Structure 1
Amino acid sequence: MKDDLRVLIVDDDFHVARLHATYVNAAPGFTALEPVGSGGAALEAIQTYRPDLVLIDIYLPDGNGLDILRGLDVDAFVLSAASDAASLRKAMRRGALGYLIKPFSEKHLSDRLRGYTRYRRLLAGGSALDQDLADRALRQLHTSDTQTARVRSVTETAVLSALGQTPGVLTAIDVSSAVGVSRATAQRYLSALVDEGSIEVNLRYGSTGRPEHQYSVRTP
Structure 2
Amino acid sequence: MSTSKDTGPAVRFRVVVVDDDFHVARLHTRIVESVEGFGVVATAGTAAQAAAAIEAERPDLVLADIYLPDGSGLDLIAGRDVDAIVLSAAVATAAVRKALQRGAFGYLIKPFADDDLTELLRAYGRYRNLVDSQAELDQEAVDRARRVLHGAGARDGASRRSPTETAVLGALAEAGAALSAPMVADRVGVSRATAQRYLSALAHQGHLVVELRYGSTGRPEHRYRTAGRT
Question: Under a length normalisation based on structure 2, what TM-score does the superposition of the two structures give?
Answer: 0.68
Corresponding letter in the other structure for 2:145: A
State the SS of the aligned residue for 1:45: helix
Tell me how large the CA RMSD over aligned residues is.
3.6
**In the alignment, structure 1 residue 78 sits paired with structure 2 residue 90:** no
Corresponding letter in the other structure for 2:69: P
Distance 1:59 1:213, change over 3 A: same
Corresponding letter in the other structure for 2:9: K
For structure 2, which runs of at least 5 residues remain unmatched after alignment?
1-7, 160-180, 182-189, 225-230
Tell me, yes or no, if the aligned pair for 2:127 and 2:206 is still in contact at 8 Å: no
Tell me, yes or no, if the aligned pair for 2:129 and 2:206 is still in contact at 8 Å: no
Corresponding letter in the other structure for 1:43: A
- Number of the residue aligned with 1:168: 192
Corresponding letter in the other structure for 1:113: L
In 2, the alpha carbon distance for the partners of 1:56 and 1:28 equals: 21
**In the alignment, structure 1 residue 133 sits paired with structure 2 residue 145:** no
- Number of the residue aligned with 2:64: 56
Tell me, yes or no, if the aligned pair for 2:64 and 2:85 is still in contact at 8 Å: yes
Distance 1:35 1:92, change over 3 A: same
Q: After superposition, give the CA deviation of every residue in 1:42-85 in whole Å (9 maximum; x if it has no partner).
A: 11111111111000000000101111111321000000011122
Tell me, yes or no, if the aligned pair for 1:11 and 1:17 is still in contact at 8 Å: yes
Tell me, yes or no, if the aligned pair for 1:56 and 1:76 is still in contact at 8 Å: yes
- Number of the residue aligned with 2:98: 90
Tell me, yes or no, if the aligned pair for 1:140 and 1:148 is still in contact at 8 Å: no
User: Structure with the greater relative contact order (CA < 8 A, sep ≥ 6): 1 or 2?
Assistant: 2
The more displaced of 21-30 and 124-133 is: 124-133
For structure 1, which runs of at least 5 residues remain unmatched after alignment?
151-162, 176-185, 216-220
In 1, the alpha carbon distance for the partners of 2:134 and 2:214 equals: 26
Kindly tell me the number of residue pairs found equivalent between the two proteins: 185
- What does 1:111-122 align with in structure 2 at a 5 Å threshold? 111-122=119-130
Distance 1:211 1:126, change over 3 A: closer
Tell me, yes or no, if the aligned pair for 2:18 and 2:25 is still in contact at 8 Å: yes
Tell me, yes or no, if the aligned pair for 1:169 and 1:214 is still in contact at 8 Å: no
Question: Under a length normalisation based on structure 1, what TM-score does the superposition of the two structures give?
Answer: 0.71
Corresponding letter in the other structure for 1:2: P
State the SS of the aligned residue for 1:35: strand
The more displaced of 112-121 and 123-132 is: 123-132
Tell me, yes or no, if the aligned pair for 1:69 and 1:95 is still in contact at 8 Å: yes
- Number of the residue aligned with 1:2: 9
- What does 1:1-220 align with in structure 2 at a 5 Å threshold? 1-4=8-11, 5-143=13-151, 145-147=154-156, 167-169=191-193, 191-193=203-205, 195=207, 212-214=221-223
More strand by share: 2
Q: After superposition, give the CA deviation of every residue in 1:80-117 in whole Å (9 maximum; x if it has no partner).
A: 01112211110011111111111111111110011001
In 1, the alpha carbon distance for the partners of 2:220 and 2:140 equals: 29
Give the C-alpha shift of residue 169 in structure 1: 4.7
